[in-house]
Structure 1
Amino acid sequence: MTRKAASSAKRRAPGGGQWALQDAKARFSELVRLAHSEGPQHVTVHGRQEVVVIAAEEFYRLKGAPTGAALIAAMQASPHPDLDLAPSRVPMPVRDVVL
């Protein structure tokens, strides 16, 4: 194995989804394609895992849709259920306009 081939093999294990930052930058299109087809791709900086690139569909599935369920549950669990949270309306002054 040549020195360059050994260095490249060390940076990205075949099929392992591990990328050194410099390889991820140089082969970004391939990284994105593999994230979509094979799953999460891990990017390392100085040997430490820093980020994981995942497909957009997977990101939105993991993130979930904002439903407000957590806010509703917190308000229902409040120790002060009789507290009025309606905003108070204050009349705003109106300026005279000359047309």
Structure 2
Amino acid sequence: MQTWPVQDAKARFSELLDTCLRDGPQAVSRRGEEQAVLVPIAEWIRLTQQNQPSLKSLLLAEEARTEYLVPPRRHLKRRKLSGLEG
């Protein structure tokens, strides 16, 4: 995997993208430390789908895995209603 300094990645993004599609993932570094990776979309889809269990595996699992079945709750701010409070 080739590493591109962020300045070069910004200035030559088309070349970075072409290299990624041709040669695979490309790292982007800031101040000498790798910070991000550009990967082809097919690779990204494969990686993200690989990490999510299927419904069948959740149902057949010995332990409860409800964190995947219940959507996260939203943290909404409640409005104060004027005139209704005594």
TM range (shorter): 0.5 to 0.7
Show the 5 A alignment for 1:40-79.
Answer: 40-64=25-49, 67-69=54-56, 71-74=58-61, 76-78=62-64
Aligned Cα RMSD in Å?
2.1
Count of matched residue positions in the alignment of Structure 1 and Structure 2: 62
With the length of structure 2 as denominator, give the TM-score of the two structures: 0.61
Show the 5 A alignment for 1:17-96.
Answer: 17-64=2-49, 67-69=54-56, 71-74=58-61, 76-78=62-64
Deviating above 2 A after TM superposition, structure 1's stretches of 4 or more consecutive aligned residues are: 65-74
- Once the two structures are TM-superposed, the CA of residue 72 in structure 1 deviates from its matched residue by 2.3
With the length of structure 1 as denominator, give the TM-score of the two structures: 0.53
Comparing both chains, which one has the higher relative contact order based on Cα–Cα distances under 8 Å and sequence gaps of 6 or more?
2
- Give unpaired runs (5+ residues) of structure 1: 1-15, 79-99
